[in-house]
Structure 1
Amino acid sequence: MDDDSRTARWESGAALPLGIASLVYLASYAAHVLLPGLPGPVRVTLRSVQLLAWALFVVDYAVRWRLSGAGLRFVPRHWLDTVVVLLPLMRPVRIVRTYEAVQRRGGRPRLALHARVIVYAGLSAALLGFAGALSVYQQEHAAPHATIRTFGDSVWWTCSTLATVGYGDVAPVTPWGRTIAVGLMACGLALLGAVTGSFSSLLLQRFRREGDDEDVPRPPGR
């Protein structure tokens, strides 16, 4: 069995457990940030859950690196996976792989390419936005001269940033908050470009198909 088939089998089998672990990680992190008054043992449990989920991400990365046989070339080739291991809060964005794995394993028809791009981009934006809002709120709400004081403020700022609108009514003031902002800006541009490009391609295909139909000669008298 070659390395590619072994890697594909591993990814197919691990996609659903890792997807669940990603959501558990995000939920435990959200509880840790939004519920600061939780008892000490509960907070320790939440941290333990996060560490366990992160350990699963590291194991998955290490196994796929080993199966790839690419050596150090694996890191630049899978740069997003590398970033996710270093910043596990971004792991829920990879949840879109779970859908692909379940569809391939079940043998059911999948959505058309353009629909998948739009659905994946929307799901990624929602998960990334929620994770980004949590991170910015954690860094900003207690900072001096902060304008992001509540989680609602953070969600509003995240939505305007991902949408590349940027009203400027609230903005991060801490170094880490601004670093997160730069990442969200880049992700917002990438997601917007993916959706716009896919939608434009879909329209061009529709117009081309209609043009081809009009060029087909019709029998006389019809």
Structure 2
Amino acid sequence: MNSGNQRLDRWRRRTEFPMLGAALLFLAAYAWPILDPELARPWQTACWALTWLTWAAFVADYSVRLALARDRWSFVRTNLVDLAIVVLPVLRPLRLIQLLSIVTVLNRRLTVSLRQHVTMFAVVASGLVLFCASLAVLDAERGAPGATITTFEEALWWAAVTVTTVGYGDFYPVTSAGRLIAVGLFLAGIALLGVVTGTLASWFVEKVDATKEETTATRAEVEILMAEVRALRSELSGTPAANGDNVPAPADDRSG
């Protein structure tokens, strides 16, 4: 491994958990004013400043990693999620994409089996998608004329029925920003359902394969046992065992 890649890997190892902390700090600063609309103005300003400060931290981290990369164009092509985290949050409804850093850190750190890896990834991603979509749609809809989503409980219910593709229609976004969030939630729901379905299918296939292996092993054990029985009966009858003979020839008991 060349020195440039070594420096990049060292930087990643040293900063991934600070970046994870920055993402969680961003989530708290973003969520607090939305969940508490009566929050005092100074606190709202502090939360606003903190969201931009964490975004600046992600920009700095990406810039350093890009500078350390030996092949910068390859780095950009293979780190499109990180690029989106840096570029898209300039648009307020898309700032929550910074939270993808939580999933990427978990993706690098999980050392369990592939299925457990995928399951953990799906659980964490589903929770983040539901919570963040609820916050974003509530931020966009609350106070809009004709809005049906005006509380966090309503936003969470809407996000749940939307991401699962149920769509009761009792709550729906009426603003352009809210509808944009809904489109993103549609896509996330399809992706998450695909992950869950694929994981379940993999589990069933593995169970079937395990059953076949057990059956094959049982048959082999039976054949070995039959061979041992044939050899034992041959010894008792005083005749050599013949390959493929299931039962030795019976002794002739007829006299003279």
Structure 1 residue 155 corresponds to structure 2 residue 162 = no
| CA drift at 1:43 | 1.4
- Distance 1:5-1:160 versus aligned 2 partners, 3 A rule: farther
Partner residue of 1:96?
103
Is the contact made by 2:85 and 2:98 (CA closer than 8 Å) also made in structure 1?
yes
Matched residue, 1:138: 139
How many residues are aligned here?
216
**Paired residues for 1:21-32 under 5 Å:** 21-32=22-33
For 2:213 and 2:73, locate their aligned partners in 1 and report how far apart those are by CA, in whole Å: 49
- Give, in whole Å, the separation in 1 of the partners of 2:192 and 2:6: 30
Unaligned runs of 5+ in 1: 104-109
CA distance in 2, matches of 1:192, 1:68: 35
Superposed CA RMSD: 2.0
Paired residues of 2:23 and 2:102 also in contact (CA < 8 A): yes
1:220 maps to what in 2?
Answer: 225
Higher mean C-alpha deviation, range 157-166 or range 178-187: 157-166
The Cα of 1:40 is off from its aligned counterpart by 2.0
Report the alpha carbon displacement of residue 102 of structure 1 after superposing the two structures with TM.
5.5
Partners of 2:11 and 2:33 in 1: CA distance: 32
Q: Percent identity, please.
A: 35
Q: Secondary structure at the match of 1:220?
A: helix
1:1-222 to structure 2, matched below 5 A, reads 1-85=2-86, 86-87=88-89, 88-99=95-106, 110-216=111-217, 217-218=220-221, 219-221=224-226
Alpha-carbon distance in structure 1 between the residues aligned to 2:165 and 2:71: 37
Q: CA deviation at 1:99?
A: 3.8
Q: Which has the larger radius of gyration?
A: 2
**Aligned letter for 2:134?**
A
Amino acid of the structure 1 residue aligned with 2:113: A
Check the 8 A contact 2:5/2:70 in 1, yes or no. no
Contact kept? 2:107, 2:121, Cα under 8 Å: no
- Structure 1 stretches of 4+ with a deviation exceeding 6 A read none
Shift of 1:89: 1.3
Q: Distance in 2 between matches of 1:93 and 1:128?
A: 10
How far is the alpha carbon of 1:214 from its aligned partner? 0.9
Shift in alpha-carbon separation, 1:202–1:67, aligned structure 2, 3 A: farther
Residues 160-190 of structure 1, C-alpha deviations (whole Å, 9 max, x = no match): 1122222211111111111111111111111
User: What's the TM-score, normalizing by structure 2?
Assistant: 0.77
SS in 1 for 2:145: coil
